[in-house]
Amino acid sequence: MARVACIVLDTDLLIALLRGKERAMKYIARLEHENQELATTAINLFELYYGAYKSGSTRRIEAVRSLQRMLRSIDIDEKIAEAAGREAARLASRGMPLDFRDVLIGVTAREKGCKLATCNVRHLGRIEALTIEKWC
């Protein structure tokens, strides 16, 4: 069966998965049952690795590596960099700035035609034309 959609998993969901949270695991099981392509961005992976290395736990670092192997990883290219810069400037000019990591994550999902699964709807919902699916 062909994949029906791409969904980028935000850091909050990935952390919940790594912690074995039942709600996150059920959500991912539903996405897999729907045959959706599970992806994340290089920025999300940075955030996970930062936390794992900061903890000093080899087990956590290996858990991030294992999770990474199960997901499509989307890199940031020149098109995404420009679109994210434009979006960050648009938001800042309206007095609604976002952390640059959130802008990069959201714009990456949008530019690749993916939905973004997150609980951070309040902030990421500011990104123009981004389709968000609240998982929590």
pLDDT bucket at 53, cuts 50 / 70 / 90: very high
Lowest mean pLDDT among 3-7, 28-32, 38-42, 43-47: 3-7
- 42, part of any domain: yes
- 1, part of any domain: no
Q: Record the tokens describing residue 5, joined without a space.
A: 């959609």
Q: Record the tokens describing residue 9, joined without a space.
A: 């998993």
Domain that holds residue 84: 6-134
What is the structure's pLDDT at 5? 84
Domain count, the chain: 1
Bridge-based pairing state of the strands 6-9 and 37-41: parallel
- pTM of the predicted structure, to 2 decimals: 0.93
> Looking at residues 15-20, what average pLDDT do you find?
97
> Looking at residues 103-122, what average pLDDT do you find?
97
Q: Record the tokens describing residue 116, joined without a space.
A: 């973004």
> Quick check: 3 pLDDT over 50?
no
127 DSSP 8-state letter: S
**If you write DSSP's letter for every residue of 12-55 in order, what string do you get?**
HHHHHHHTT-HHHHHHHHHHHHTTPEEEEEHHHHHHHHHHHHHH
CATH number at residue 34: 3.40.50.1010
Angle CA(121)–CA(122)–CA(124) in degrees, nearest 5?
60
> Looking at residues 65-84, what average pLDDT do you find?
97
* Widest Cα–Cα separation across the chain: 45
